[in-house]
Structure 1
Amino acid sequence: MQVPPAPLRPAAALAPNIQAFVRLLRRAGLSVGPGDALLAMEALTIAGLDSRAGFRAALKATLLRKHEQNDIFDAAFELFWRDPERARAGAAMALMEAQKPEERAKPGGRRLAEAMAGDRPKPPPPEEEEKRELDASMTVSERERLQQMDFEAMSAAEISAAKQEIRKLVLPLDARPTRRFRPDPLGPRVDVRATIRAATRTGGEIATIARRRQVERTPPLVAICDISGSMARYAQILLHFMHAVTADRDRVHSFLFGTRLSNITRQLRHKDPEIAFEMISHIVPDWSGGTRIGEALERFNQDWGRRVLGQGAVVLLITDGLDREGGRGLAEATDRLQRSCRRLIWLNPLLRYAGFQPKSQGIRAMLPHVHDFRPVHNLASLKALVDALSETPKREHGR
């Protein structure tokens, strides 16, 4: 009787590489730690090292927790286990390529490249006194400068810092009463029907009085953003704001428009922003092109208005108002949108200019039909928007 060979045990030299691979995944955003590295080595001891596919499956089974992390894991595996030393140089090249706007990296590619680049030795820290002086003189001023800087004037590093600040902004969850009620023994209203039903089970004697309370729910938030050529730089950053809002609250609906209207609500619900934006890039063909604001709003009113504008919805209309069609049909479409929602807020980056005048036909057509007209060109303007949404709006236009 032939005894089958015992499974191969990982070589001692493989353990440091597995630990380094786990650290790479952790820097790339996966929640793994030293315990997972030990579990992976135990799995490899059982599965053996006979094939690359089995090796990969063992690592994925022990280190992967969510299906949406597959792309990051696969890219990290191919990059690291091909040659851990050469992978660092390849990651640096991938990070440089990711800076090119005309080429789109795979989801998680930039974060993975930065994680690999993090393995490189860092320069020695400056002297303690010099570091203390820089912290005291630069932290507050740099943050204040970033808050006031126009998105269009930001460098790549400043845009990255702005995106981190945007993710800290939280829109208020201003719950509003609905027409529905729920049973509540301490509710302010008597539920006559429930009281009578309970009395029929006790021979007509009323033992307790049922009470109820009105259900409160957060109203829907709808964002309609212009991605034409004049708005492209702002739209790229505001997408991060829309993604942060979608992750923070429910019933958020997001749309992009240039020459056509695109619903990106489902794509923005993905927790990883890089994967969400990659999905958006596949369904939005008119980025940085022309703009037909009136046609896009009319299409929204016809196809989506009744679906998403119920229960006191708040609409954020993000556009500079420069319409290629010269404002044709824009007043009617904006008026219908305003009458369908509780609050219509127009966010326009052109308001950053102190001497702004509504000279464009599109702006003049839209302006009488919005509840609020605000700038959106820097972090301070977004913070002001959050503060404004925290206030209880006055009833306007007969509402």
Structure 2
Amino acid sequence: MEHAPLDLPDDPRLAGNIAHFAAALRRAGLPVGPDRLLMAVEAVTVAGFTDRADFFHALQAVFVRRPEHRATFAQLFRLYWRDPRYLEHMMGLLTPTVRGVQEERRARPAEKRAAEALLDAAEGPDPEVAGEPAEEVKIDASATASGRERLRNLDFEQMSTAEMAAAKRMLTTLRLPVRPLASRRRQAAAAGRIDRQATLRAALRKGDLHDLRRATPRIRWPNLVALCDISGSMTSYSRALLHFLHAVANRQGQGWAEVHGFTFGTRLTNITRHLRTRDVDAALAAAGAEAQDWEGGTRIGDALHAFNRDWSRRVLGQGAVVLLVTDGLDRGDPERLAFEARRLHLTARRVIWLNPLLRFDGFAPKAAGIRALLPHVDSLRAGHSIAALEGLATALSQPDDRGELTRLRG
């Protein structure tokens, strides 16, 4: 990353500029408090600020504590300290007119958060940074019926920081129903089919056949396994799904035997233990720190191979339902992807594919990765909004639900 010579104000104004920058970072979702602001001013003073690269890395070392915040920090640094014209360019990308899936570049989530945060910062200094305590104002986009309906159907990738916060609150209330499975094993019951073996054993003990024993199948609950693509094009959607998955994993009496979560971009990462942490922010922060391939490339075939080899026997043995969250835009060999998808399909009870590209009316399975996956899933749904995730309830409660599969398979 090349940096031009830095032209900063004199020292008395430097602290103020860093304070405004810190406020913008906080609006963009980074956990920046007064202690970090003081550390940043001290770090810049020690490191010097005649060179842009030193200035960038000094601030990054203080303000960025999670890998997933690096992209947002870099975009906001560019907006605030380098190129004022970039803000106008970014705002033009926030609400593009979609003519096709790949015809127009859309603002990346990190770019959107940076642009929105800087627009907010332009309204004036943050009251807390200026030293004047102020009551925190929370925007609740779901306060009204119309607001809730709009939020339900809004694309996760197009949400502002406030809208995403409101959406996450709504996601925690969603239910993901599960159908119990009848086991081959049976248990004694007052009603049900006659258990011949138990009846004969009782007859041998008592000497008569008057006491007929009955039994019903034991009920067992399946596992829920989510495989979430965290490549650049899927970041917003997978973050929302993981937030939803955390709520399901921590809801008492939710029915699922176990909830397992995996992320993949260029490698597979098991984040199940983090989903069991009660605090959602701590859980997802730990998951984000462990998965080092956020917003990178996509190797779906390699990820499925690693899952089939290392994890399928451990987590798919109870008639598990698999949620595959990906747009199917794979950089690997489509034949390898098809082979591994078939293996996954054979070992899981059901594979439900959530593909955000289905939000486009003219979507067609043209990409090789999408065509490789289609024959090996049971249901295909969009998963790009709260309303789309609510549709999972239909897919799970109706075993014959196919979503968009029938249309796309032709």
Q: Using structure 2 for the length normalisation, give the TM-score.
A: 0.63
Q: Distance in 2 between matches of 1:247 and 1:226?
A: 22
Q: Distance in 1 between matches of 2:401 and 2:28?
A: 47
Q: Residue 296 of structure 1: SS of its match in structure 2?
A: helix
Offset at residue 328 of structure 1 (A)? 4.5
CA contact (8 A) 1:268 1:277 kept: yes
User: For the structure 1 residues 140 and 368, does the alpha-carbon distance in structure 2 shift closer, same or farther, using more than 3 Å as the test?
Assistant: same
CA contact (8 A) 2:354 2:380 kept: yes
Q: Residue 201 of structure 1: SS of its match in structure 2?
A: helix
| Greater C-alpha radius of gyration | 1
Residue identity opposite 1:96 in structure 2: R
CA contact (8 A) 2:365 2:371 kept: yes
Q: Residue 177 of structure 2: SS of its match in structure 1?
A: coil
Offset at residue 149 of structure 1 (A)? 0.8
User: For the structure 1 residues 255 and 122, does the alpha-carbon distance in structure 2 shift closer, same or farther, using more than 3 Å as the test?
Assistant: closer
Are 2:272 and 1:265 equivalent residues in the alignment? yes
Q: Residue 298 of structure 2: SS of its match in structure 1?
A: coil
Residue identity opposite 1:194 in structure 2: A
* Alignment partner of 2:156 out of 151, 157, 169: 151
C-alpha RMSD of matched pairs (Å): 3.3
Offset at residue 145 of structure 1 (A)? 0.9
* Alignment partner of 2:176 out of 157, 171, 184: 171
CA contact (8 A) 2:394 2:401 kept: no
* Alignment partner of 1:293 out of 297, 300, 304: 300
Residue identity opposite 1:236 in structure 2: R
Are 2:118 and 1:188 equivalent residues in the alignment? no
Residue identity opposite 1:222 in structure 2: V
- Map 1:231-250 → 2, pairs under 5 A: 231-248=234-251, 249=254, 250=257
Aligned twin of 1:65: none
User: For the structure 1 residues 194 and 361, does the alpha-carbon distance in structure 2 shift closer, same or farther, using more than 3 Å as the test?
Assistant: same
Aligned twin of 1:40: none
Offset at residue 385 of structure 1 (A)? 1.6
Aligned twin of 1:111: none
Residue identity opposite 1:221 in structure 2: L
- Map 1:331-370 → 2, pairs under 5 A: 331-370=338-377
Residue identity opposite 1:305 in structure 2: S
CA contact (8 A) 2:243 2:284 kept: no
Q: Which runs of no fewer than 5 residues in structure 1 stay unpaired? A: 1-91, 106-115, 125-134
Offset at residue 326 of structure 1 (A)? 4.6
Q: Distance in 1 between matches of 2:385 and 2:228?
A: 16
Provide the aligned length of Structure 1 versus Structure 2: 284
Q: Distance in 2 between matches of 1:232 and 1:138?
A: 27
Aligned twin of 1:209: 212
Offset at residue 388 of structure 1 (A)? 2.3
Residue identity opposite 2:196 in structure 1: V
Q: Distance in 2 between matches of 1:169 and 1:279?
A: 23
Are 2:214 and 1:284 equivalent residues in the alignment? no
CA contact (8 A) 1:174 1:390 kept: yes
Q: Distance in 2 between matches of 1:386 and 1:209?
A: 41
Per-residue CA distance 1:183-240 (angstroms, 9 max, x = gap): 11x13122233233333333x2345222211111222211111011111121111110
Aligned twin of 2:100: none
- Map 1:303-322 → 2, pairs under 5 A: 303-322=310-329
* Alignment partner of 2:30 out of 94, 97, 100: 100
User: For the structure 1 residues 391 and 123, does the alpha-carbon distance in structure 2 shift closer, same or farther, using more than 3 Å as the test?
Assistant: closer
Q: Distance in 2 between matches of 1:302 and 1:121?
A: 54
Residue identity opposite 1:103 in structure 2: V
Per-residue CA distance 1:25-46 (angstroms, 9 max, x = gap): xxxxxxxxxxxxxxxxxxxxxx
Q: Distance in 1 between matches of 2:30 and 2:250?
A: 28
CA contact (8 A) 1:225 1:317 kept: yes
Report the more deviating stretch, 149-158 or 204-213. Answer: 204-213
Q: Distance in 2 between matches of 1:93 and 1:183?
A: 64
Offset at residue 98 of structure 1 (A)? 7.9
Per-residue CA distance 1:233-254 (angstroms, 9 max, x = gap): 2111111011112123332221
Per-residue CA distance 1:63-110 (angstroms, 9 max, x = gap): xxxxxxxxxxxxxxxxxxxxxxxxxxxxx97993882387247xxxxx
Q: Distance in 2 between matches of 1:138 and 1:162?
A: 12
Aligned twin of 1:27: none
Offset at residue 178 of structure 1 (A)? 0.9
CA contact (8 A) 1:98 1:104 kept: no
Q: Residue 254 of structure 1: SS of its match in structure 2?
A: strand
Aligned twin of 1:200: 204
Q: Residue 329 of structure 1: SS of its match in structure 2?
A: helix
Q: Distance in 2 between matches of 1:309 and 1:228?
A: 25
CA contact (8 A) 1:169 1:386 kept: no
Q: Distance in 1 between matches of 2:261 and 2:29?
A: 27
Per-residue CA distance 1:286-313 (angstroms, 9 max, x = gap): 1111111001111111111122223432
User: For the structure 1 residues 166 and 97, does the alpha-carbon distance in structure 2 shift closer, same or farther, using more than 3 Å as the test?
Assistant: closer
Offset at residue 165 of structure 1 (A)? 0.7
Residue identity opposite 2:381 in structure 1: R
Q: Distance in 1 between matches of 2:392 and 2:26?
A: 35
Q: Residue 191 of structure 2: SS of its match in structure 1?
A: coil
CA contact (8 A) 1:222 1:314 kept: yes
Identity %: 51
CA contact (8 A) 1:178 1:311 kept: no
Residue identity opposite 1:237 in structure 2: A
CA contact (8 A) 2:28 2:161 kept: no
User: For the structure 1 residues 167 and 223, does the alpha-carbon distance in structure 2 shift closer, same or farther, using more than 3 Å as the test?
Assistant: same
Q: Distance in 1 between matches of 2:27 and 2:278?
A: 24
Q: Distance in 2 between matches of 1:393 and 1:236?
A: 28
User: For the structure 1 residues 256 and 123, does the alpha-carbon distance in structure 2 shift closer, same or farther, using more than 3 Å as the test?
Assistant: closer
